[in-house]
Amino acid sequence: MPRLQELYTRYRDQGLKIVAVEASRDTERSKKFIAKKGLSFLLLEDRTEDPVVGGLFGVHAFPTSFILDASGRILYYHLGFDEGDEKKIAGEIRTLLGE
Amino acid sequence: MRSRALLAASVVLVLAGAPACSKKTTPGQTEAKAYKEAKSAYYDAETPEAKAVIAERYLAEFPGGEHAPAFVRVEVENRGTRLGEKQRALDTVRAALQATGDPGRHLEIVLTAYPLAKELDQPLDLTAAIAQVEKERPLSYDENGSIMEVAAKHRQWQLLLQRADAALAQATPEAVRADNPGRKLGPAKLQHKVDGRAAEAMTYKAWALANTGKPEQAEELFAAARKRTPRSFLGLSLVPVALFEGRAALQQGRLDRAMELLAPDAVMGGDSTAMAYLETAWKKKNGSEKGLDDYLHKMRRVLSREAADFTLPDYQGEEHTFSKELGRVTLLAFWFPT
């Protein structure tokens, strides 16, 4: 999550939005975490038993990321979020912002 | 199914347990408690050195412990790969192997450290590790899957063929149920798992056949795997059939077919292996990298898909509709519970 915040801070002025969906189990704990880490992008909570929205996007593991263009088309899918992944995702975002 | 699903499982396994706090471990505590604390400390650790030290501490105290394979993985990744202290990592692994009486754990450690040991020219005996398990019980599907992955990488075609046949025999509802005791699996989920197993086993068998002079049989099996594989929302196969079929086509010089097979995983899946082979195919066909970027760009547009819309509350309880939140570029992330 802090890595997402870094991405957001770096690219939000150029038009990047981040929407994070969390299959929440503990709202209070999440709220504390968000405040502690200073997360300022949009965080949504999916509290359904078998997360409905994850199902809609065929998400079968966490973390999974999708990158979308301005018209809402998914142009990139990525599973995991390790150090190398971060660069890859940032690269994709830069490419799209530059179009 | 296994390579990606397991990768996914390990992401969740290692990271899902949120850290409460990281206390120092004291001697005499139970392994379960030590594991809980080590996991929590691992979650907080920010450098490869810190992660490796956590693994080494656990392994020094419980070298044959239940969670030794997981910490061997941490050690190999951090001490071995990231810090490049390969011999030290392998020495830690060997100590854990010697202390491990459980054949299943032994096999798991051998598989995890196999590439590292091979690189250092001090190979681990995979065949013996398999035989040890088989003295007690048949291998599980996941074990066969991990062996297939290692055998494919190290070009051990006979082992790959043998394990692919064993894995294929486990692509049944009964075998899936037996491997998931106590878990409720509806008919759709069950079929999804059976199909995933079948497609993965066929993929690896086809890859072995393609490399042992049987290209026609390989092609037939690849086609069957492609039909059978479960696919993601974006239409990507959840088993690496496109990657291996693409590589087989590349080996045979069928460059257009190779590119067609590799492109979806490369551009939509962010699969760097698929991308590397796609680049090779492109250069063979066109003599240089020229035009590749345009091609990738075009493929991205062709393969893209409109996102589904949804409405969910934020942490203040206010509802948001996703389609109204789009920016010039939007990153939609599905996160594990913090």
Q: Is residue A67 a part of any domain in this protein?
A: yes
Q: Is residue A13 a part of any domain in this protein?
A: yes
Beta-carbon separation of A79 and B11 below 8 A: yes
Reported residue count of chain A is: 99
Whether B338 shows a pLDDT value over 90: the answer reads: no
Whether B105 shows a pLDDT value over 50: the answer reads: yes
Beta-carbon separation of B329 and A15 below 8 A: yes
B46 contacts on A by Cβ (under 8 Å): none
Q: Which of B21, B310, B329, B336 to mutate to test the interface with A (most CBs of A within 10 A)?
A: B329
Reported confidence tier of residue B297, pLDDT bands at 50, 70, 90: confident
Place of tokens 């345009």: B294
Of B306, B310, B328, the CB nearest to A97: B328
| Minimum CA–CA partner of A96 in chain B | B329
Of B301, B314, B336, the CB nearest to A63: B336
- The reported pLDDT for the residue numbered B337 is 57
Q: Measured between alpha carbons, how far is B214 from B228 in angstroms, rounded to an integer? A: 21
Q: Measured between alpha carbons, how far is B163 from B151 in angstroms, rounded to an integer? A: 9
Closest to B12 (Cα-Cα) out of A85, A9, A73, A23: A23
Of B267, B329, B337, the CB nearest to A22: B337
What is the domain range of residue A7?
Answer: 2-94
- The reported pLDDT for the residue numbered B4 is 37
- The reported pLDDT for the residue numbered A49 is 67
Q: Is residue A66 a part of any domain in this protein?
A: yes
- For B167-196, the pLDDT digits (tens) are 999 999 999 999 888 888 889 889 999 999
The reported pTM is 0.79
Number of domains in chain A: 1
Reported confidence tier of residue B27, pLDDT bands at 50, 70, 90: very low
Q: Measured between alpha carbons, how far is B228 from B91 in angstroms, rounded to an integer? A: 42
SS3 (DSSP) at B335? strand
Whether B24 shows a pLDDT value over 50: the answer reads: no
Q: Is residue A34 a part of any domain in this protein?
A: yes
- The reported pLDDT for the residue numbered B6 is 35
Domain segments of chain B as ranges: 1-137
Q: What CATH number has the domain bearing residue A32?
A: 3.40.30.10
Whether B106 shows a pLDDT value over 60: the answer reads: yes
Q: Is residue A81 a part of any domain in this protein?
A: yes
Note whether ipTM > 0.85 here: yes
Closest to A6 (Cα-Cα) out of A57, A40, A43, A54: A40
Q: Is residue A62 a part of any domain in this protein?
A: yes
Give the residue with greater pLDDT, B75 vs B19.
B75
What is the share, in percent, of chain B residues with pLDDT greater than 70?
Answer: 91
Phi-psi region of B235 (alpha: psi -120 to 50; beta: other; left: phi over 0): left
Interval B233-242 mean pLDDT: 89
Whether B230 shows a pLDDT value over 70: the answer reads: yes
Whether A3 shows a pLDDT value over 80: the answer reads: yes
Strands (DSSP E) found in chain B = 305-306, 311-313, 319-321, 329-335
- For A7-63, the pLDDT digits (tens) are 999 999 999 999 999 877 778 888 888 888 889 999 999 887 666 777 778 777 778
